[in-house]
Structure 1
Amino acid sequence: MVLVQFLFQGLIVFVTSIPLYFLFQNPLSWTVDNFSGLNIMNYIALSIIPFSISLEATADVQLERFKKLKQQGLIPREELMETGLWRRSRHPNLFFDLVTWTCFAVASICDPISVCSLIGPIVLFCVMEFLTTPLTEAHMKKKRGDVYTQYVQRTNKYLVM
């Protein structure tokens, strides 16, 4: 079972990383007179990546702090994380991870074949939507019951607004 899980994770990492292959294959040329190879969409996508990585890290830090406060008994055990980015999204870390990989994919598009880089974020979304999120939410519903059901009703799954 562990081998199957390991191989599945390796496959997901491989497929998710496809945009990097195409990004590094982008035919850039840099001369004194001219820099070509990237268009405005590439620049926009690449400029979003640091922000999405920062926000993903922020969500992870917020959750870690919350868990530490719970362990110290400063927050009741049954309380849910509903502050910071977690107030607007049940899975902000997953959302910003998907934004990051989608930006890598968009940034890597330079010719018709490089559109294949979109396979990475599509597969990542499918894994999040149909595997990771349902497993996590089923566990939380079992652990927290009606409190979690109410949280689900008032909080977006991914989108932070």
Structure 2
Amino acid sequence: MNNKLAHLAVIFIGYIACIYSMNLTWNLFPESSLILKVLICHVEATIFIYFLSTCFNNSSWYDAFWSVIPVVLTVLCWSDISAVGNSQRALLMHACLLFWAIRLTYNWMRSWDGFSHEDWRYIMMKGKTNNKFQYFIVDFGSIHLIPTLCVYMALLPMIYTLAYPGSELNSLDFLAAVIAVLAVVIQIISDQQMYNFRKNLREPQTMKSGLWYYSRHPNYFGEILFWFSLFIFALASNLSFLWLLIGTLIMYFLIAIASVSMMDKRSLERRPDFKEYMDSTPAIFINVFKKG
């Protein structure tokens, strides 16, 4: 436990340094659009965290990136003098984003055991490389940069809402907020159910109760639903932002193709009863009509 706390402290210091570097980078481009500045800072932060991952030979550095950096980026946007979006909508969106980020960061902190641990997906992907160049492409490209670009695209609805004038707060905003809160609550419940299930687990078993009875990955359903809520906020601001749905779709495909497929394949190899569960249970979407 002491080692874990010490390692979390190291991660915390590293991210403080990363956020400081993002602020410096942001101020280097005072005349650029918010959309471009967010992209530049997002990639710069990715390179910074990748450098730390390389120094520690552990890509766990990137795990907190998913939840921490979007909040930093949107706060930078909101504080920028060029931001002209509705301030009430911005406040509501940030409250939802912060709720999501706290849940995701807490769940990672609770499950991470320190630098002795690295996500099995990272280990598997890097283990398939045959030389240093392939290792770099997988480690920097697949593990760090591609997820960053996907999150950037999924975050665009919020960035556009902050960057451009929009309508007054309306019913779509409240619908978006309800969806966002519901999404995070689904994630919190599914996280806790899985945590309780794994706590006393001695051998691989399939979780089939609670929300996991209705979906193989209810936490991912909540994740996709949250990003969809940001798109609804964008529509509330300006109906011409309909094209920003592409960001939500990119996030869906990242989760469905990358994460779910890898996790299901591993579960099929390790859990004898998973095939039957897989055949009767949706991968992501919650089937409330599933019969026992």
Task: Name the amino acid aligned to 1:47.
Answer: V
Q: How far apart are the structure 1 equivalents of 2:188 and 2:160?
A: 26
Selected match of 1:63 from 189, 194, 204: 194
Selected match of 1:107 from 215, 221, 233: 233
Moved over 6 A (4+): none
Task: Please say if residues 23 and 104 of structure 1, whose CA atoms lie closer than 8 Å, have aligned partners that are also in contact.
Answer: no
| Structure 1 position 3 matched with structure 2 position 140 | yes
Q: In structure 1, the residue corresponding to 2:200 is in which secondary structure?
A: helix
Aligned to 1:39: 170
Cα deviation, residue 112, structure 1: 4.7
Give per-residue Cα distances to partners, 1:10-60, cap 9 Å, x unaligned: 1122112112112324636xxxxxxx6233222212222112111112111
Aligned to 1:97: 223
1:1-161 matched pairs, under 5 angstroms: 1-4=138-141, 5-25=143-163, 27=165, 37-70=168-201, 73=202, 77-109=203-235, 110-145=237-272, 147-160=273-286, 161=288
Q: In structure 2, the residue corresponding to 1:54 is in which secondary structure?
A: helix
Q: How far apart are the structure 2 equivalents of 1:154 and 1:117?
A: 33
TM norm structure 2: 0.47
Cα deviation, residue 96, structure 1: 0.8
Structure 1: which 5+ residue stretches go unaligned?
29-35
Q: In structure 1, the residue corresponding to 2:173 is in which secondary structure?
A: helix
TM norm structure 1: 0.82
Q: In structure 2, the residue corresponding to 1:96 is in which secondary structure?
A: helix
Task: Please say if residues 158 and 233 of structure 2, whose CA atoms lie closer than 8 Å, have aligned partners that are also in contact.
Answer: no
Cα deviation, residue 84, structure 1: 1.1
Q: In structure 2, the residue corresponding to 1:89 is in which secondary structure?
A: coil
The alignment covers a number of residue pairs equal to: 148
Task: Please say if residues 140 and 148 of structure 1, whose CA atoms lie closer than 8 Å, have aligned partners that are also in contact.
Answer: yes
Cα deviation, residue 62, structure 1: 1.2
Cα deviation, residue 137, structure 1: 0.6
Q: In structure 2, the residue corresponding to 1:17 is in which secondary structure?
A: helix
Percentage of matched positions with identical amino acids? 21
Q: How far apart are the structure 2 equivalents of 1:23 and 1:51?
A: 21
Q: How far apart are the structure 2 equivalents of 1:100 and 1:2?
A: 27
Aligned to 2:83: none
Task: Name the amino acid aligned to 2:186.
Answer: L
Q: In structure 2, the residue corresponding to 1:90 is in which secondary structure?
A: coil
Task: Please say if residues 26 and 37 of structure 1, whose CA atoms lie closer than 8 Å, have aligned partners that are also in contact.
Answer: no
Q: How far apart are the structure 1 equivalents of 2:277 and 2:164?
A: 44
CA 1:65–1:88: 2 relative to 1, 3 Å: same
Task: Please say if residues 220 and 255 of structure 2, whose CA atoms lie closer than 8 Å, have aligned partners that are also in contact.
Answer: yes
Task: Please say if residues 155 and 230 of structure 2, whose CA atoms lie closer than 8 Å, have aligned partners that are also in contact.
Answer: no
